Amino acid sequence: MVVIIGAGPIGLACGIALKQRNIPCIILEKGALVNSVYHYPVNMTFFSTSERLEIGKVPFISHGMKPTRREALEYYRRVATSYELDIRLYEEVLEVSGKKGAFSIKTNKSDYKADYVIVSTGFYDHENRMDVPGEDLPKVKHYYDEPHPYAGQKVLVVGGGNSAVDVALETYRCGSEVTMVVRYDTLKPGVKYWVRPDIENRIKDGEIKAYFSSEVKEIREKEVTIETPEGSITIANDFVLAMTGYRPDFTLLKSMGIGFENDKYKTPIFNPETQESNVSGVYLAGVVCGGLNTGTWFIENARVHAQQIAKDIEKK
């Protein structure tokens, strides 16, 4: 028996690869199916074309060149149903103990025994905080859903990547007065090529105000203080949308005895050929392999982890 922790696209891919080899497995997920995808903004469009998001050789047909969040949710539901995967949703893993061939997994609902464990958790549950006074005010949001609640409001968007750019453009077009604060002297190089001209033109025309090489210093009920190269300024503000990224929670990995490379990205130790960690019988798959460097692994390049892991378990 194999227990897979995480029902994201790569966790599902691992379940499929094991099932194709007649290796029994269950998938435990603390939230909804493909929970990270579910928490993406409602109007989000993926970078990749649909075929690069496919798993289990199930065709992913989208209406446009780039699939949407809604289409992805529908697709992964169809994949899970097609393969009749045993998925236990809203079941959080609290503890993993034991060793290869005799692991014990305790959740908030039940207890399980497993010969092998695959950890395929994401990083969307823990935001990168700004650590400034006022960050805990209700008007500060680290997660963005849709633009309507911010119509007619003074909105500060923090960040210079794709999430920040999308939020700035969507809220602007919904009638918000938008200001951006970007830590660097320009937008990030990875901003989607079909979106970059739009945001740059909005900034150039003054429709969206942007402060580069700047940081938020303090947030108050009706205003925000920003440190810019020209000095400190204070602007009126109703909402702060902090698109500062997210990080994985290493608590479970550390409790299992998984080690980390001695680098600033806290990369977990694993064999890149088999995906087995330094703990015998425990495998890592997907974005968790990148540690704090969350831009390393995506659905597109992590799909291979499923076959590597299943092949190694079958061999053993």
Domain range list for the chain = 2-126+246-315, 140-242
Count of Cβ atoms closer than 10 Å to residue 2 Cβ? 22
Q: Which of 125, 116, 129, 70 is nearest to 92 (CA)?
A: 125
Q: What CATH homologous superfamily does 140-242 map to?
A: FAD/NAD(P)-binding domain (3.50.50.60)
Output DSSP code: residue 213: S
Question: Tell me, what's the pLDDT at 265?
Answer: 67
pLDDT tens for 14-61 read: 999 999 999 999 999 999 999 999 988 888 888 889 999 999 999 999
112 in Cβ contact with 26 (< 8 Å): yes
Could you tell me which residues come within 8 angstroms of residue 206 by beta carbon, excluding any fewer than 6 positions away? none
C-alpha distances in Å from residue 234, one per residue of 132, 135, 218: 15, 16, 9
Q: What is the torsion angle, in degrees rounded to the nearest 10, for the CA atoms of residue 196, residue 151, residue 36 and residue 73? A: -90
Structure tokens at 295: 């831009």
pLDDT tens for 133-143 read: 999 999 999 99
Is 0.85 topped by the overall pTM?
A: yes
Would you state the CATH architecture of domain 2-126+246-315?
A: 3-Layer(bba) Sandwich (3.50)
Output DSSP code: residue 277: B
Q: How confident is the model at residue 65 (pLDDT cuts 50, 70, 90)?
A: confident
For residues 117 and 103, give the distance between their C-alpha atoms in angstroms, rounded to a whole number: 8
pLDDT tens for 239-278 read: 999 999 888 888 999 999 999 997 776 899 999 999 999 9
Q: Which of 299, 316, 223 is nearest to 14 (CA)?
A: 299
